[in-house]
Amino acid sequence: MPIQARTIRARAGRAFVIAALAALIFQVARGQSNYSKTNATAKTTTGGPADNPTKSNPSEVAKTLQVAAEAVGLARWSGVGGQRLPEVDVINTMEIWASGTTYGSGSPNKSSESGSAFKTEYHASLGYNPPAMRVEMTRTSSGGSGSPAPLHTIEVVREKYAWDESEIGAGLIPGKGVATPAMASANSRILELWTLPYGVIKAAVAAGDKVTMSTENGARVLTFPLSGQLAGVVVKATLDAQDEIAKVETRTDNPALTGMATETEYSEYADHGEIATDVKSPGHIVRKQAGHPVLDLHVKMLDANNPYLVFPVPENVKKAAAQ
Amino acid sequence: MNPHIRLGRGIVVAALLCLIPAAVFAQANGGPRMDHENTLPPTPTGPTPMAPDGHPDLTGLWNGLADNLLGVPNQMHNVGIEVGTDTTRDIHSGVQIATWPLQNRKRQNNEQNERAATLLRRMGSNRPIYKPEYWQRVKDFDANSNEEDPSNNCMPAGVPRMGVPSYIAQTPAYLVFIYPGQGGLIATATSYRMIPTDGRKHTNLEELDGTWNGESIGHWEGDTMVVDSIGFNSTSWFDQLGGYFHSENMHVTERLHRDGNTLTWTATIEDPDVLLEPWTTTPRVALLNPDPKAILPESLPCSERDFAHVVTKEHH
């Protein structure tokens, strides 16, 4: 932030200033020209309704993914320092604060049974490299004065490891909290990460030529399989007119992958950050699992500035996974 | 003068001033221009000169474009993101990162440009693992770095934040490292280090006054110079970004390896007071200035003048 005194040299000469401004104008004009060409191409290939093709043109899929990535601020570049790098996916870690209602047991892993509604304060910390998510919820029964005390849970997943924490970072230092292995929940927890709008775009890009594009009721739909520990799960993502991910459905024919039939609707996209990032996130999230409501949340704030979030796996969780 | 006109001129001048250091730096290097299209480190060329004692001679002006703080490309590489022609990967995790062609970049204004740069600089997976009780503090320091970053008040960067030395002089008994004042991402005053390589041991930590650079001693491990440092204050941060604070018990091990006209530098930070485990920076590869007449330019005083005008938490 401090201005180095050597920059005072910049005051030398009106001619230099004029030359610099001319160079800037030329660069901006060239950028506008490039953008106009790209944007026009994207609209041509993605804007109109198709006849529900079963085989997609790879370039159409790629362009659709690019406009979807740009719509939420995932595909970005920067010219700081005079560099000319391509657009890359800039989203790794983020934090989401939300409030609303969760249903059933309150646990996304046990909520296939439709049940009570809980007023919920929700805080998710997540990262895509490595894939990990920590969801902290405080659920309060709406049953009145005789209701039990609020239930506070911290559920964590990192790739194949899943555990519950008695406090943030429990189990990493002896005597500081308890980390309880929850391996059976690993797949359903990591699925939440990959069904967020950013996860859908990342996973679709990773799926490569396995992505197909169609239209349903005039909306573009991308369908593709997940891989790794979620192999066997198919994602169907619907884009809205603003190129944002509006609905994500997952299904599987593998009976071993229980709890994988989900449906999540995203709406009210905006930059919800205290520090502006130009990353847009949904302001309203509604999720169902096996046809039953799981959560209905309104986002209060989202920090997309790749904040410091880490997910080290406690030793006892590693041991439990190895057994 | 109409105050609006004056303000407008001020903005234009400020914008131009921000652009000047890159040009000045490039000219001073006598090296390639800064319009990178990738973040790949330079490929070594030429022989590695040897000192009379049989070890590589590290002497030289290592201010090639591989490790300056001005441009996003090297800052991205410094956090482990390697952008090639059409692929991007995190060199620590091996994760492939979605990339779209250069010619398809979306147009954006300066504000969007800066916000994107802030994200780009933080997208790597190579992060130190602090003890859980410090996770929130690191986040807060980074989010409030306009106020909290010691470099924003012209304080020294310190070891190891200052990175690769811009000049090294190697004698049989000492190494001398020089770090000119830096603008751009962080702004610091000129700093130097005199590092004995005569086999002496560290002073007892209890007898050292904590300083920005600590007490450093060097030794050779094969062809790699290892600089071991203790005796720090707890004021500096140990990486360019991220709010990575440390305690007075920090122990830093730098490794410098010359291969032809390149110098690869890493630093390993051990601080059992705040870190769960040692952490090693992404290797940075500096390029030898090929101009035998090249000298380091004078670094003028660092002067903080911006902070009073900051109205948001947006930061580098």
Looking at every residue in chain B, the average pLDDT score rounds to 84
ipTM of this predicted complex?
A: 0.88
pLDDT tens digits along B98-134: 999 888 888 889 899 999 999 999 999 999 999 999 9
Structure tokens belonging to residue B142: 């980074």
Please name the member of B119, B142, B181 whose beta carbon is closest to the beta carbon of A308. B142
For chain B positions 62-101, those within 8 Å of chain A (CB to CB) are 70-73, 76, 81, 83, 86, 88, 90, 93, 95-101
**pLDDT-based confidence at residue A313 (cuts at 50, 70, 90):** very high
Neighbours of A61 (CB within 10 A): 24
The one-letter amino acid code at B255 reads R
Average pLDDT over residues A161-179: 97
- Tens of pLDDT, residue by residue over B46-89, are 999 999 999 999 999 987 654 455 567 788 888 999 998 778 99
Per-residue confidence at B185, pLDDT binned at 50, 70, 90? low
User: Using an 8 Å Cβ cutoff, are A100 and A295 in contact?
Assistant: yes
pLDDT at position B85 = 75
How distant is the Cα of A21 from the closest Cα of chain B, in angstroms? 9
The predicted structure's pLDDT at residue A105: 56
Burial of B218: CB neighbours in 10 Å, binned 0-12, 13-18, 19+? buried
Question: What local confidence, expressed as pLDDT, does residue B31 receive?
Answer: 41
pLDDT in tens, A71-85: 999 999 988 766 788
CB-based burial of residue A144 (10 Å sphere; 0-12 exposed, 13-18 middle, 19+ buried)?
exposed
What does pLDDT average to over chain A? 83
Q: Residues B276-313, buried b or exposed e (16+ Cβ, 10 A)?
A: beebebbbbbbbbbeeeebeeeebbebeeeeeeeeeee
| Span B211-220, pLDDT tens digits | 999 999 999 9
Q: Which residues of A touch B181 (CB under 8 A)?
A: 4, 6
Residue numbers in B near A82 (CB within 8 A): 22, 33-35, 71
Give residues with Cβ within 8 angstroms of A85, minimum separation 6: A77, A78, B36, B37, B38, B39, B72, B73, B76, B83, B102
Q: Do B16 and A304 touch (CB under 8 A)?
A: no
Contact B66, B285 (CB under 8 A): yes
B300 in contact with chain A, both atoms CB, cutoff 8 A: yes
**How far is it, in rounded angstroms, from Cα A129 to Cα A126?**
9
Residues A169, B131: C-beta atoms closer than 8 Å: yes
Q: What is the pLDDT of residues B267-312, one digit of tens each?
A: 999 999 999 999 999 999 888 998 888 888 887 788 777 778 888 8
- Residue B119 contacts residue B274 (beta carbons within 8 Å): no
Beta bridge partners of A303: A95
Q: How far apart are CA B149 and CA B131, in angstroms?
A: 21
CA gap B251, B215 in Å, rounded: 10
Which residues in chain A are closer than 8 Å to B99, comparing Cβ atoms? 86-89
Task: Kindly report, residue by residue over A277-303, the tens digit of the pLDDT.
Answer: 999 999 999 999 988 999 999 999 999
Specify the pTM: 0.85
Whether residues A90 and B104 touch (CB distance < 8 A) is answered with: no
